[in-house]
Structure 1
Amino acid sequence: MSDAARLLRLLSLLQTSREWPGSELADRLGVTSRTVRRDVDRLRDLGYPVEASMGALGGYRLVAGTAMPPLLLDDEETVAVAVGLRTAARQPVAGIAEASLRALAKLQQVLPPRLARRVSSLTSATATSAASFAALVDPAQLAVIAAAVSARERVRFAYVTNENVVAKRHVEPVRLVALGRRWYLLAHDVDRDDWRIFRLDRISSALATGTRFPPRVPPGGDATEYVTQKMYDTAPTYRARATLRLPVELARARLADFVGDLTALDDGSCSWHSVEDTIEYLAFRLTLLGCEFTVHGPVELVDHLRELGQRIGRSVG
C-alpha cells in the first residue's frame, strides 16, 4: 500500500464515529504504531482535527474543527448524498439553493459511472411531492449548466418557448437563480446579442461547448434582483381570499410555506388570505388542500377555477 493510499485508508477509518486504539489502526493498515503516529500528524497538517487520548483505553478519533476538510465517502454514502442533492436541486430552498447546486455539480463531475447509474435509478424511482414544487427540473441539466456558469463556458440546449415551440439556443450562462418554486438561468443569448431568462424545467439536451467567454456583469449588477423584477413584470400576481372547511391548525399544516393569513372562524373552518402568486398556482394550492372551500376573490381566480372544473368534468364525463 502506498503512503497516499494508506493515508486515505486511515482517514476513512477515523471518519467513523468511534475512537481507534493505535495498535488496532496499525493492524488494520499493516504498519507499526510509529507509522500510525506519523500519518496522524500528516492528517493534522492537512487540516483534519485528529484528537489523541492517552491511557489503556486511549486512541485516536476525528473531532469537529474550525474548518470543513474534504470528506471521504464510501459507495453507499456517495449515492445517498448524490440522490439527496439531486432531489434538493429540483426544489430550490431559500438560502442553500446555490450552494447545493455547486455541490451537485462537483459531485456529478467525479461520480464513477457505476455509481452514476445507481443514482439515476434511485432518483427516477423516488416520488416528489407536487405540492412542494410545481415544475420539476432534470438535475442532470442543472449540473451541466451549473458547471458551465462556474467555468464561464458557452452552452447549447433545446428550449420550449411560451408558444410551446422547441427552439435551439446558444448562450453564455451567467447565473442560476432560484426564485419561488422554479430555477431560472440568466444568460446572454449569443445569436440575439441580448440578455435572456430561461426556465430550467423547459431546458433539455444541454451541452457545454468548450468555448469560454469573458466575465459579464448582469443588468443592474444583480442577477437575482434582475430576474425577480422581470418575472413580476411579466406575470401578474394576486392574493386569494377564501373560506376553507378545515380547522385552522390543519390548514396551516397543509399550506406549509404558503400560509399567508389564516383566521379561525369555528372549530371546522377558517378564512385564508394567501401570499401573492399567479392565478394558476393559487388554484393549484387550493385544490391540493383536500377540503371544501369557497373563493371570495379575486374574480380572476373564480373564473379560472370554474374553467378548470368544467375541463375536469369533460375529461371524466
Structure 2
Amino acid sequence: MVSVQKTSSRLLALLSLLQTRRDRSGEELAERLDVTPRTVRRDVDRLRELGYPITAFKGPSGGYRLDAGSQLPPLLFDDGQAVALAVALQTAATDTTIGEDATRALSTVRQVMPPRLRHRIDLLRITAVQPPANDNASPNDNASPGDTRLLMDLSNAIHARVELRFDYDQGHPAAERPRRTQPHHLVTWQGRWYLIAWDLDRDDWRTFRADRVRPRTPTGPRFTPRELPGGDVSAFVTGRFRGTDGTTTDWPCRGEVVLNLPATAVAPFARDGIVEELGPDRCRLTLGSWSWTGLAAAIGRFDTDIEVIGPPQLTTAFARLAERYANAARRS
C-alpha cells in the first residue's frame, strides 16, 4: 500500500512538472523527483496509459513534452490554481453566452475540491457587472483576475461583516492615512476588480480598484451592512461609473446635436447614443456623458460641422472647449 501511494504521489508530481513548462529533460525530471531516469520513463508510460499525450523529444539528454490530445485527460491544479479557476468561473457564470457552461464547470470543480478549498470558494461572493452595450468605458482586455489571495481576503471581510483598513495606491506620491471602510461587494467591471465599500472617514460610498488595495491587519469590529443606494449592485456600479450617485444608470448630462455625416458613419462610434437619419449626409445624435465638457469633447471626435440642438449647457461647454483649444494652439 505504501508503495502504491508513493507511486501515485510521484505520478502527480511528474504531471505537475510537465504542465508548468512545455519541455522537460529526462535528467531534470529525475533530479526533481529524486528518482532514476529509468523510473521517469516508466512513470511517463503510466501517464500515457491514463490518457496524457506525452511525447519524447531527442536532444543531448532527451526529454518529454505534454501535448494537446484528442480527449481532455484529468488535470492537476495546485491550491492557487484551483482558487483562481473557481474565481474565473464564478465571474464567467454571469455571461449570457457561456454562463450556463461556466456554472456547470464551477459545480464540477467545487465537487472535487478538498474541504479547505471548498470553504474558501464558498465564501467568495462576486458580482460581475455587465456594462450597457456600446458603453463609452474602454474595456481592459488584458486584465487578469489579479491576486487571488487578495480577492479572497476582501471577500472574507465582506462575508464576515468586519471593518477593513487598507492603504490605497492612487498613483501619486502623496501619502494618505489608511482607509477605514465597511466592505459591501466585490465586483468586476470592464475586466477590472473593484471593492464597493462605505468609507467611514468620508461618510459616503466609494469604489476602490482591488489591485490598488493593500489590506492592513487586524480587521476592525463587526458592522451591520448598509443598504446600497437604489438597492441594486449592478445599477449602482453602472451609475457610479457614469458619474451619478448610483441611484440611476442614466448619464447625468445628455445632449442633442445634428452632424453633417451619414447615420451609418456615426452609429458604430456612438456608444449608447441614439442616431437618427435626417438625410443622406445628415443625422441627429443624442448622447450622454459624465459632464458637459466630456460630452462636448466626445461629440467633437466626429470630424464634421456640429449644430447644437440643446440643452444650453452643451453650447456653453463647446464654447469653453473652443477657447481652450484656441489658447493651446496659440501657445504651441
One-letter amino acid matched to 1:212 = T
Q: Which residue of 1 aligns with 2:16?
A: 8
Aligned length: 225
Q: CA deviation at 1:31?
A: 0.9
One-letter amino acid matched to 1:211 = P
Using the aligned pairs only, state the percent identity: 18
Q: Which residue of 2 aligns with 1:150?
A: 155
Q: Which residue of 1 aligns with 2:46?
A: 38
Instruction: Identify if the C-alpha distance between structure 1 residues 180 and 316 changes in structure 2 by more than 3 Å, giving closer, same or farther.
Output: same
- SS of the residue corresponding to residue 254 of structure 2 reads coil
- SS of the residue corresponding to residue 246 of structure 1 reads coil
One-letter amino acid matched to 2:197 = A
Q: Which residue of 2 aligns with 1:237?
A: 252
Q: Which residue of 2 aligns with 1:175?
A: 185
One-letter amino acid matched to 2:244 = Y
Q: CA deviation at 1:190?
A: 4.5
One-letter amino acid matched to 1:188 = W
**1:196 pairs with 2:208:** no
Q: CA deviation at 1:248?
A: 1.7
Instruction: Identify if the C-alpha distance between structure 1 residues 40 and 191 changes in structure 2 by more than 3 Å, giving closer, same or farther.
Output: farther
Q: Which residue of 2 aligns with 1:249?
A: 264
Instruction: Identify if the C-alpha distance between structure 1 residues 184 and 223 changes in structure 2 by more than 3 Å, giving closer, same or farther.
Output: same
Q: Which residue of 1 aligns with 2:299?
A: 286
On the 8 A contact 1:159/1:166 being kept in 2, the answer is: no
Could you tell me how far apart the structure 2 residues matched to 1:244 and 1:149 are?
47
Could you tell me how far apart the structure 2 residues matched to 1:291 and 1:28 are?
74
One-letter amino acid matched to 2:69 = R
Counterparts of residues 107-186 of structure 1 (less than 5 Å): 133=137, 146=151, 148-152=153-157, 153-157=164-168, 168=177, 169-177=179-187, 185-186=195-196
- SS of the residue corresponding to residue 289 of structure 1 reads coil
User: Per-residue CA shift, 1:92-112, capped at 9, x if unaligned?
Assistant: xx959xx9xxxxxxxxxxxxx
Could you tell me how far apart the structure 2 residues matched to 1:70 and 1:292 are?
60
Could you tell me how far apart the structure 1 residues matched to 2:293 and 2:76 are?
44
Q: Given the two structures, how large is their TM-score scaled by the length of structure 2? A: 0.49
- Structure 2 spans left out of the alignment, 5+ residues: 1-8, 23-36, 55-66, 79-87, 89-93, 100-134, 158-163
One-letter amino acid matched to 1:207 = R
Could you tell me how far apart the structure 1 residues matched to 2:239 and 2:272 are?
23
Higher share in helix: 1
Q: CA deviation at 1:182?
A: 9.3
Instruction: Identify if the C-alpha distance between structure 1 residues 28 and 303 changes in structure 2 by more than 3 Å, giving closer, same or farther.
Output: farther
